Structure 1
Amino acid sequence: MAGKSFASRTYRDEGVILRTHKLGEADRILVLLTRGHGQVRAVAKGVRRTSSKFGARLEPFMVADLQLSSGRNLDIVTQATTLGAYGHGIVSDYARYTAAAAIAETAERLTDVDGESANAHYHLVIGALAALNRGAHAPELILDSYLLRALATAGWAPSFTVCARCGAPGPHTAFSAALGGAVCSACRPPGSASPSPDTMVLLAALLSGDWPTADAAGQQARRESAGLVGGYLQWHLERVVKSLQHVERV
């Protein structure tokens, strides 16, 4: 992963805005996930003024070509050109917005501790936000697919077709977040979930990007898979992703 050079005080990169919060009367602090520099925290000066030239380009879920100036604690955004105006199509729809918020929160958590794979995470986030913006699939399916792929990118790929512990071929009827996914009857620990076969098929489809199968899944399988994905995410992050509680489920 590229690093910032403090010898040359400016650098350029593509970035998606994960989160913002106010600073002073007119500035805004941005949490960015960039293509080449990982997670970056930067100040956008004056963007809350109505006269700002690029305030609207630096809202959550927007993707921009950025020029930044390196700082000791926070970098400074000096230029921004829109590459993906996903924010407008997402914030106008509650289901898309809550899914995007959960994606952004998860990406921030994962890239804060796993900077080496930030480039791969960047492309996952961009793909998920673009799909949400155009309504390619149900928002909750896009979210769960992103979560599974992001966890896999971070080194926690779940198994849904073979036993996560012994490798015995499936299908299997038990799921253990602690062991890494589907488990056979011999490896199944006490308290394991017992998802339906349709749920296991859906989970495998979401991880692999088999959208015809995922789109055809019924409501029960979608609800059950969402619970398993959320539990798997929480197990590995060792904390709750607060945005998930606001996501609309079928």
Structure 2
Amino acid sequence: MPGDLERAAGLLGAARRVVVFTGSGISAESGVPTFRDDLTGLWARFDAERLATPEAFDADPDLVWGWYEWRRARARAAEPNAGHRAVAAVEARLPGTTVVTQNVDDLHERAGSRDPIHLHGSLFAPRCTAPAGHPAAFPAGGTEPDEGRRIPPPRCASCGAPVRPGVVWFGEALPVAAFSAAVDAATACDVLLSVGTSGVVYPAAEIPRIAAITGAAVVQVNPEPTPMDELYAANLRGTAAAVLPALVAAAWPGERG
């Protein structure tokens, strides 16, 4: 670890264009469960495929919307951790940094990241179910959803169609614009930090591979080995909240933040 940290810090400190690619591990440290882990308590009687597909929403929109409102409330109650803040610190030092996340929470934004690319959508960006799929708003006010509660989805203010969660469900493609922007950033960067992701969820997992193939140094931050280890210039074993602040401090010694 000390040798890899020194190597990674040297790469980061000399970088001009950085991509930070994050997965569920960084959010888990703030207490945000994955969608599978959020099938607890009264939700445990359902499986993910019943709640996270277009077909599930068509069959029982109140059930699906209620679960996503439960998840949104859980994410809203969480706070960014030191890993999120360290990502924002990298952006502050290198304005050309691009954050690409597989997470559907808003913890990067609340930590200070500017316009992260959400490959799998966001719990905080609902959209109309009409073909145009334009953004929609949550109803004003409201109460915290009870666990297991069915909640009718709101209606689009423009056309009256039901509003759906703004996430990528099983059977759906990643948003074209988001994936294209992530690929462009990975192709142009000279360092990519892969943080808290197993590297097995495709096509998102192509992003660090693209960076490596096009000549970038890829640094992994993860507690456990992953199938992508051999691609990386440095493997930092540990959690994002523990490793990223140390990496930032080593890359820019003497600076605060």
Using structure 2 for the length normalisation, give the TM-score: 0.26
Which protein is richer in strand relative to its size?
Answer: 1
TM-score of the superposition, structure 1-length normalised? 0.26
